[in-house]
C-alpha cells in the first residue's frame, strides 16, 4: 500500500524547489483551473503543464497514470453525477478540473518531504500564535494523521485475515468493534511514545 | 547529568484495583541492567517510572539525579525509551523524518540534524532506507528505526521495554549486539533470558515486588528452576 502519494526521492528542479513555493504554485494553478469559465484551451494547456511537470520531476507517465487510477472511483462518480445534471461540456470540464488539481497536489507530495511540507505549514500558520494556537501542534497532528493511515490499514488487514482464518462469515460488527479497540489502544501507545520522545 | 544512578525509595504504584509495584527500593549504577519476571509482575511499570510515564503513588525516585515527576521534560532529554511495538513509536511517515523528529526543538540547524540522522541510520544499517516510508520496513527494521530515533538524541540512559518480543532470532541477535555495544546505561525489560544473562545485573519482579537483584546468571538460573 502506498497511501497519499508519499515522497519519492529525487534531485529534479521540483524536488529542489521550496515547499512553500510549491504550495503557493499549487494554490494559484488550482485557482486557474477552477475559477475562469471552462475553456478547452485553458484546461488543455493545464493538462500539458501537468504532464510536463511529472516528466520534469522524473516521475513519468506511469506515476501520473497511477495517481489517476487511485482516484478512478471519484472520477467516475463526478462524471456520472455531472452527466445527469449538467450539460456535457460543463460536466467534462468539471471532472477535468478536479483531476488536474488532485494530480497536481499529488505531484507536490511526491516531490516534497513531509517534514518540509509541515515546516511550510508551520510558517503559514505562525500568525495564529496570536490567537493562542500552536502551529507546531497542528503540523504534528497532520504528520500523525499521515503516519496513522497505513497503521490502521494494517489493523484492518489483520482483522480480515483473522476472520477468514476462522472461517466465519464477514460481519461488520465483528470487524468494526475490534478495529476501534485496536485503534484506540494504538492512540494510547502513541500518546506514551510522544511523551517519551519529549513531544509533551 | 550529575550521576549515573537510579534510586528508588519505597516506591509503590497503585492503579486503584491493582498494586502494580509494592514498596520497591533499590540503587542501581550498573551499565546494563536486566529486568525479568512473569507477565503482570511489575517490570513494565518499573521501566515506565524511569521516564516519567508513570508516577509513584508513594515513595520517591531519582534517575541520574533528576526527579521523573517534577523534572519529566528535562529528564526525557536524557532518558530514551524503546517500546515493544515499534509501530506505536514511529510518528513520522518516512525513516529519516522520524529520526529527525527526536531532534526538534533542540536548537540544531537543519544541516546538523541531517548529519546526525544520516550518521545514526548508517551506523545501524538503515542508511539505504532513509527516504523509505516507515510502514514498508520489516518488523526488525522498524525496531531498529525506533532505536535510531532514540539514540540520535544521545541519551545517557536507554530504557527498553521488551524490545525483542516481536522479533525473529536474527533481529533479536542484532538488537542484542547493538545493546552490548552501547556506552549508555541500559535498563532492559525482557522475557528473553539469554539476553538478560548478557547484562551486568538482573532484577526480578514478582507480583509487583522486587524479589531478587544480583548476578544475571544466578538470578536467571533461580527463575528458570522455579518452572523446571
Sign of CA dihedral B56, B79, A116, A69: negative
The answer to whether residues A15 and A48 belong to one domain is yes
* A11 shares its domain with A64: yes
Residues of chain B found within 8 Å of residue A11, distances taken between Cβ atoms: none
Is the Cβ pair A197, B52 closer than 8 Å? Answer: no
- Whether residues B97 and A113 touch (CB distance < 8 A) is answered with yes
Spell out which residues of chain B touch residue A198, defining contact as CB-CB under 8 Å: 73, 76-77, 102, 105, 153
Give the percent of chain B with pLDDT over 90. Answer: 59
Look at residue A125 and tell me if it is in a domain: no
Are residues A95 and A151 both part of a single domain?
A: no
Query: Do A179 and A136 fall into the same domain?
Result: yes
pLDDT of residue A1: 43
Q: What is the pLDDT of residue B93?
A: 82
Are the Cβ atoms of B131 and A7 closer than 8 angstroms?
yes
A197:B53 CB<8 A? no
Task: Let me know: does A24 contact A17? Beta carbons within 8 Å.
Answer: no
- Contact of A189 with chain B, judged by CB distance below 8 Å, is answered with yes
Query: Domain for residue A117, yes or no?
Result: no
Flag whether A119 is in a domain: no
Q: What are residue B24's DSSP bridge partners? A: B11
Neighbour-count burial for A42-66, b at 16+ CB within 10 Å, e otherwise: bbeebeeebeebbeebbbeeebbee
The count of domains in chain A is 2
Cβ pair B53:A195 closer than 8 A: yes
Residue B112 clears pLDDT 60, i.e. is over it: yes
Q: How far is CA A60 from CA A28, A147, A152, B24, B214, in A?
A: 23, 26, 30, 63, 63
Integer Cα distance of A195 and A187 in angstroms: 12
Question: CA-CA distances (angstroms) from residue B209 to B38, B55, B63, B119?
Answer: 12, 17, 19, 41
- A100 and A160 together in one domain: no
Using 70 as the pLDDT threshold, list the residues of chain A that sit under it: 1-5, 168-170, 200
B83 vs A contacts (CB less than 8 Å): 189, 192-193, 196
Binary contact (B93, A200; C-beta < 8 A): no
Residue A123 lies inside a defined structural domain of this protein: no
In degrees and rounded to multiples of 5, residue A167 shows phi and psi of: 70, 15
pLDDT-derived band of residue B27, with 50, 70 and 90 as boundaries? very high
- Is there a contact between B94 and B131 (Cβ–Cβ < 8 Å)? yes
B152: pLDDT strictly greater than 70: yes
CB-CB under 8 Å, A147 with B134: yes
Sheet holding B58-63, edge to edge: B19-28, B6-14, B58-63
H/E element, B186: strand B185-189
Is residue A146 included in any domain, yes or no? yes
A184 within a domain of the structure (yes/no)? yes
Residues of B with CB under 8 A from a CB of A: 48, 51-53, 72-73, 76-77, 80-81, 83, 85, 87-94, 97, 100-102, 104-105, 131, 133-135, 149-150, 153
Q: Same domain, yes or no, for A20 and A83?
A: yes
Q: Which residue has the higher pLDDT, B25 or B1?
A: B25
The pLDDT score that the predictor gives to residue A168 is 67
Summarize the confidence of residues B168-173 as an average pLDDT: 84
For B51-95, the pLDDT digits (tens) are: 999 999 999 999 999 999 888 888 888 999 999 888 888 888 889
DSSP B133: B
Confidence of residue B158 (pLDDT cuts 50, 70, 90): very high
How far is the C-alpha of A94 from the C-alpha of B3, rounded, in Å?
67
A7 inside domain: yes
Grid cell listed for B163? 524490545
Residue A77 placed within a domain: yes
Shortest Cα–Cα distance, B223 to chain A (Å): 30
Q: Does position B159 have pLDDT exceeding 60, yes or no? A: yes
Q: pLDDT (tens digit, 9 = 90+) per residue, A157-181?
A: 888 888 877 776 667 778 888 899 9
The string of DSSP codes covering A27-67 is: HHHHHHHHSSPP-HHHHHHHHHHHHHHHHHTT-HHHHHHHH
- pLDDT score for A200: 64
Residues A106 and A8 in one domain: yes
Query: Do A140 and A107 share a structural domain?
Result: no
Same domain? A107 vs A137: no
What residues have CB less than 8 Å from B126, skipping those under 6 apart?
B95, B141, B144, B145, B148
| CA atoms A153, A156, A161, A162: torsion sign | positive
Contact by Cβ (8 Å): B146, B86: yes
Q: Same structural domain for residues A44 and A108? A: yes
Residues A182 and A83 in one domain: no
Residues A99 and A155 in one domain: no
Report in angstroms the alpha-carbon separations of A151 from A87, A111, A113, A177, B198. 43, 23, 19, 16, 34
Q: Measured between CA atoms, how close is A89 to chain B, in angstroms?
A: 40
CA distance A63 to chain B (A): 17
CB atoms within 10 A of CB B162: 19
Question: Mutate which of B73, B88, B105 to test chain A, going by most A C-beta atoms within 10 A?
Answer: B88
Distance from the A156 Cα atom to the nearest Cα atom in chain B, whole angstroms: 14
What is residue B25's predicted lDDT score, i.e. its pLDDT?
Answer: 96
Q: What is the mean pLDDT of chain B?
A: 91
Q: Identify the domain containing residue A146 by its residue range.
A: 132-196
Nearest alpha carbon to residue B83 among B142, B171, B24, B131: B142
CB contact, 8 Å: A38 with chain B? no
Domain boundary among A52, A81, A112: A112
CA B31 to each of CA B7, B83, B198, B199: distance values in angstroms, whole numbers, following the listed order: 14, 20, 11, 8
Task: Give the DSSP H/E element, type plus range, for residue B177.
Answer: helix B169-181
Amino acid at each position: 500500500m502506498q497511501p497519499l502519494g508519499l515522497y519519492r526521492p529525487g534531485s529534479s528542479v521540483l524536488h529542489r524547489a521550496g515547499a512553500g513555493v510549491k504550495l503557493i504554485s499549487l494554490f494559484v494553478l488550482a485557482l486557474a483551473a477552477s475559477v475562469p469559465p471552462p475553456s478547452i484551451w485553458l484546461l488543455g494547456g493545464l493538462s500539458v503543464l501537468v504532464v510536463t511537470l511529472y516528466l520534469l520531476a522524473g516521475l513519468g507517465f506511469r506515476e501520473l497514470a497511477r495517481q489517476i487510477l487511485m482516484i478512478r472511483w471519484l472520477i467516475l462518480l463526478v462524471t456520472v453525477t455531472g452527466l445527469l445534471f449538467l450539460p456535457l461540456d460543463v460536466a467534462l470540464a468539471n471532472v477535468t478540473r478536479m483531476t488536474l488539481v488532485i494530480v497536481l497536489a499529488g505531484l507536490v507530495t511526491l516531490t516534497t518531504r513531509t517534514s518540509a511540507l509541515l515546516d511550510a505549514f508551520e510558517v503559514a500558520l505562525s500568525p495564529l500564535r496570536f490567537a493562542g494556537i500552536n502551529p507546531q501542534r497542528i503540523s504534528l497532528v497532520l504528520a500523525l494523521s499521515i503516519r496513522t493511515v497505513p497503521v490502521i490499514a494494517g489493523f484492518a488487514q489483520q482483522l480480515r485475515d483473522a476472520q477468514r482464518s476462522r472461517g466465519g462469515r464477514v460481519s461488520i460488527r465483528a470487524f468494526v468493534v475490534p478495529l476501534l479497540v485496536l485503534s484506540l489502544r494504538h492512540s494510547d501507545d502513541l500518546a506514551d511514545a510522544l511523551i517519551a520522545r519529549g513531544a509533551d | 547529568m550529575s550521576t549515573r544512578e537510579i534510586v528508588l525509595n519505597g516506591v509503590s504504584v497503585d492503579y486503584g484495583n491493582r498494586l502494580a509495584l509494592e514498596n520497591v527500593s533499590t540503587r542501581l549504577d550498573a551499565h546494563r541492567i536486566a529486568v525479568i519476571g512473569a507477565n503482570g509482575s511489575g517490570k513494565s511499570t518499573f521501566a515506565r517510572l524511569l521516564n516519567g510515564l508513570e508516577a509513584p503513588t508513594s515513595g520517591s525516585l531519582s534517575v541520574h539525579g533528576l526527579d521523573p515527576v517534577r523534572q519529566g521534560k528535562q529528564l526525557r532529554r536524557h532518558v530514551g525509551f524503546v517500546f515493544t511495538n515499534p509501530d506505536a513509536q514511529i510518528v513520522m511517515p518516512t525513516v529519516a523524518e522520524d529520526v529527525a523528529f527526536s531532534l526538534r526543538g533542540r536548537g540544531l540547524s537543519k544541516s546538523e540534524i541531517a548529519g546526525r540522522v544520516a550518521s545514526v541510520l548508517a551506523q545501524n544499517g538503515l542508511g539505504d532506507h532513509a527516504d523509505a516510508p516507515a510502514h514498508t520496513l520489516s518488523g526488525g527494521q522498524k525496531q531498529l528505526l525506533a532505536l535510531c530515533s532514540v539514540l540520535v538524541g544521545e541519551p545517557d540512559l536507554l530504557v527498553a521495554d521488551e524490545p525483542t518480543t516481536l522479533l525473529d532470532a536474527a533481529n533479536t541477535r542484532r538488537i542484542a549486539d547493538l545493546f552490548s555495544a552501547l556506552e549508555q546505561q541500559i535498563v532492559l525489560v525482557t522475557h528473553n533470558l539469554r539476553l538478560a544473562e548478557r547484562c551486568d545485573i538482573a532484577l526480578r519482579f514478582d507480583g509487583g515486588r522486587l524479589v531478587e537483584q544480583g548476578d544475571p546468571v544466578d538470578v536467571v538460573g533461580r527463575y528458570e528452576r522455579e518452572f523446571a
